[in-house]
Structure 1
Amino acid sequence: MRQMIYKRFERFWHWSQSLLMLVMLVTGFEIHGTFSWLGFEQALQWHEVGAVALIILWVFAIFWHFTTGEWKQYIPTTEKLVAVIRYYSKDIFFAKPHPYKVTPDRKHNPLQRFSYLGFKLLLAPVIWITGLMLLAYPFGLQVLSLPTLSALHLLSAFLILVFLIVHVYMTTTGDTPLSHIKTMITGYEEHQDPDVDEQTLPSEKNT
């Protein structure tokens, strides 16, 4: 059964955010001297452009989530949490079925909900606040010392990089290594389970 899971704006937001985060990571690490590619001035310029674009994207995404009610997808739940953890730590290696069935109303399993919520409430605020404070530092807003701000910003960047690496790995744990990625591109998921009842597919024009 073919079922739409991710609407058009969700897919645009996901891939645009991913691209901008990669731009921010690459240019940010170059600014800190991890490697040399664009040069400090260009890296700083692209880092700031990426930051502005990402802020604008997040404003639209937050508005969309709250006006459509999709923010409820991120409410934490412990329902099937233990089963999902057991699946990824053990059952997946024995080709057992995933204990959580994705639907348009329940897109994220409990483990994803906790990880995404942690990203939005912890990592994202730290990197944005420290980043904005670094931009404002030359203009007199010096709440923390420059080395402390830089260290906090860099630490949060490394944690976001780890988050992205784990996220990419998790996309390969579907029925096939590319099935989750295909779903995020097309919006549709192929259900193999005959017990999953076919639902009316949402129209793209409502996105």
Structure 2
Amino acid sequence: MERVYLFTRFERLWHWAQAVLIIGMLVTGFEIHGTYKWLGFAQAHKVHTTIVWAFIALWVFAIFWHLTTGEWRQYIPTMKNIDKVVRFYAVGIFRGDPHPFQPTRARKHNPMQAQTYLGVTVVVTPLLWISGLAYLFYNELSAAGWGIQLGAIALVHTIGAFLMLAFLIGHIYLGTTGHTPTAHFKAMVSGWDEAH
């Protein structure tokens, strides 16, 4: 087994900060939606809005970091060996087969991960941001003559929230599929992964 330093301090900070902010937005967002009552609508809305601005600030900084370091290349999707990775997660993982992809500093994400992260980045996140900002500034948009229905905005935002929740659940589950159930989590804490 060889140890590989995969995740820089910033990547780990960005990952865990995103996780906390996304969970916070989901918890407060579903309360705003009326799914349950914990903080109350007004407080949940205030907390949700604060978390949203923190999330946007984090993303602006992360985009700058990815562009200046060249790490944006990690998210370029590839079809190379995608069939092997899909077969591994569908069948091989249950038979104890070795993972067909070994992460390196140059290519941290397997083809399925890269495509998923790209999809979340270019589809789910913008869907949430655009609908969320339209929701937040609905009165201003209406006053400016934009004929957007509040119900349609809420529906799109809720769909985005469920997509993000599905991603989060899948992400946590797949985090347990390393050579030990905690290996991937440890790598995201320390930065070091063990190549097999």
User: TM-score band (shorter)?
Assistant: over 0.9
User: Are 2:134 and 2:141, in contact at CA under 8 Å, matched by a contact in 1?
Assistant: no
1:205 match: none
CA distance in 2, matches of 1:2, 1:83: 24
Which consecutive aligned stretches of 4+ in structure 1 deviate over 3 angstroms post-superposition? 140-143
2:150 match: 146
| Unaligned segments of structure 2, at least 5 residues | none
CA distance in 2, matches of 1:144, 1:186: 46
Q: SS in structure 1 opposite 2:4? A: strand
1:107 match: 108
User: Are 2:124 and 2:160, in contact at CA under 8 Å, matched by a contact in 1?
Assistant: yes
CA distance in 2, matches of 1:139, 1:62: 28
Aligned length: 192
Q: 1:7 to 1:143 in 2, by over 3 A?
A: farther
Q: 2:31 aligned with 1:34, yes or no?
A: no
2:69 match: 68
1:175 match: 179
CA offsets 1:170-198 (integer angstroms, 9 cap, x no match): 0000000000000000000122x3xxxxx
Query: Which amino acid counterpart does residue 46 of structure 2 have in structure 1?
Result: Q
Q: SS in structure 2 opposite 1:77? A: coil
CA distance in 1, matches of 2:176, 2:148: 41
CA distance in 2, matches of 1:100, 1:162: 24
CA distance in 1, matches of 2:29, 2:75: 28
Query: 1:140 Cα deviation (Å)?
Result: 3.6
Q: 2:75 aligned with 1:86, yes or no?
A: no
Query: Which amino acid counterpart does residue 164 of structure 1 have in structure 2?
Result: L
Comparing 33-42 with 140-149, greater Cα deviation is found at 140-149
Query: Which amino acid counterpart does residue 176 of structure 2 have in structure 1?
Result: T
CA distance in 2, matches of 1:74, 1:139: 36
5 Å matches for 1:1-207? 1-141=2-142, 142-191=146-195, 193=196
CA distance in 2, matches of 1:78, 1:139: 44
Structure-1-length-normalised TM-score: 0.91
CA offsets 1:123-180 (integer angstroms, 9 cap, x no match): 1111100000111112244442000000110111011100100000000000000000
- Percentage identity across paired residues of the two chains: 49
